[in-house]
Structure 1
Amino acid sequence: MSKLYEIKERYQNLMELLENEELPKDLINNSLDLLETEFTEKAETICKILTNMKADSEAIKKEEDRLKARRKALENNMSNLKEYLESNMKALDLKKLKGNIFSLSIQKNQSSCIIHDLKNIPKDFIVIKEDVNKKDLMEYIKQNEIEIDGVEIKQTESLRIR
């Protein structure tokens, strides 16, 4: 069976031959019909491959989700064990502990800044992030039938397989 691009090239060549008045049209049309059938068969094969790839992709995604949940459970267990150990060391007023393999110590962390009321913060420290609501902007442009410099409404196409 030919490759898809080869079928396309042959189809384009036959379309060019249709413009030649000297060649019999029914012969070219029959060849076009055969190429269309071959193209359809090739497209169906590609769709089967896509279906298999989609199933593989979904199975991998499911496994990723399962592994993510397992990782999260392990991280929670680690955090709980560390908090358990820390709370018991604090209850016994132990700041340092040296074992045969591990040394433990309770230390102060780096200071952090917690904001309770944004309106009391000096403006020099406020950062405003600009963003555009593209959906509402597109609706506004379409409703008012206007153009805005730097904005383009683009309609694209994509292949849908059912």
Structure 2
Amino acid sequence: MKLYELAQNYAQLMEMAEEMESDALVDTLESLQEAIEDKVENIAKLIKNLEADVKVIKEEEQRLADRRRSIESKIVRLKEYLQQQLEVAGLQKVKRPTITVAIQNNPPSVEIADEKLIPSEFMIPQDPKIDKKAILERLKNGEWVPGCSLKQTRGVRIR
């Protein structure tokens, strides 16, 4: 029987408690409660396993991201080294049967010396962002913030 079915049966049994004999009611409630607790335990264990999988996946993502950044840095260093050595040798291009390496100009880019001196027409307007942490602190301290209220939700904690 599924957990939602057990929970519904338990609730229905509680509603019919006055009509049943006390011994039969107690036995039935105990068996239903034990079945519910078994299901809850198994689902909680599944959640714990899935949380462990998520943790391992996040760690692997981080490890791979670190490795990617390391490789990207190595590529930059090797390109700089290659360019320096070609410039020292006075070569602009090396052409081989399988690969060609050439020094060329990159596309023009903007270098900003002082942002304060740039006219406003070059500024990109951005929507303001709400600082929910600051609002939460104010509300917790008993202050009133227009358009906001504290909300208390409930959730399952598995320890």
TM-score after normalising by structure 2: 0.83
Counterpart-to-counterpart distance in 2, 1:138 and 1:54: 28
Q: Deviations over 1:9-39 (max 9, x none)?
A: 2112212323xx5433543343222211111
Counterpart-to-counterpart distance in 2, 1:110 and 1:49: 54
SS in 1 for 2:150: coil
Task: Give me the identity figure in percent.
Answer: 37
SS in 2 for 1:82: helix
Relative distance call for 1:152 and 1:124 in structure 2 (3 A) is farther
Unaligned runs of 5+ in 1: none
Q: Deviations over 1:76-107 (max 9, x none)?
A: 22222221111111122222221111122222
Counterpart-to-counterpart distance in 2, 1:145 and 1:25: 52
Deviates more, 1:111-120 or 1:68-77: 68-77
Per the TM alignment, residue 62 of structure 1 is displaced from its structure 2 partner at its CA by: 2.8
1:23 matched to 2:17? The reply is: no
1:76 matched to 2:84? The reply is: no
Q: How many residues align structurally?
A: 158
Relative distance call for 1:9 and 1:126 in structure 2 (3 A) is same
Which one-letter code corresponds to 1:82 in the other structure?
A: K
Per the TM alignment, residue 40 of structure 1 is displaced from its structure 2 partner at its CA by: 1.0
Q: Is 1:96–1:106's contact at 8 Å kept on the other side of the alignment? A: yes
1:94 matched to 2:114? The reply is: no
Please report the RMSD computed on the Cα atoms of aligned residues, expressed in angstroms: 2.3
Counterpart-to-counterpart distance in 2, 1:142 and 1:70: 43
Relative distance call for 1:43 and 1:144 in structure 2 (3 A) is closer
Relative distance call for 1:63 and 1:37 in structure 2 (3 A) is same
Partner of 2:134: 136
One of 120, 138, 144 as aligned partner of 1:146: 144
Per the TM alignment, residue 122 of structure 1 is displaced from its structure 2 partner at its CA by: 0.7
1:113 matched to 2:106? The reply is: no
Which one-letter code corresponds to 1:81 in the other structure?
A: L
Counterpart-to-counterpart distance in 2, 1:67 and 1:37: 45
1:52 matched to 2:49? The reply is: yes
Q: Deviations over 1:105-124 (max 9, x none)?
A: 22221222222212211112
Partner of 1:10: 9
Counterpart-to-counterpart distance in 1, 2:52 and 2:136: 35
Which one-letter code corresponds to 1:138 in the other structure?
A: L
Q: Is 2:139–2:149's contact at 8 Å kept on the other side of the alignment? A: no
Which one-letter code corresponds to 1:13 in the other structure?
A: Q
Q: Deviations over 1:52-88 (max 9, x none)?
A: 2233332333333332332222222222222111111
Q: Is 2:135–2:145's contact at 8 Å kept on the other side of the alignment? A: no
Per the TM alignment, residue 141 of structure 1 is displaced from its structure 2 partner at its CA by: 3.8
Counterpart-to-counterpart distance in 1, 2:76 and 2:19: 83
Counterpart-to-counterpart distance in 2, 1:147 and 1:75: 47
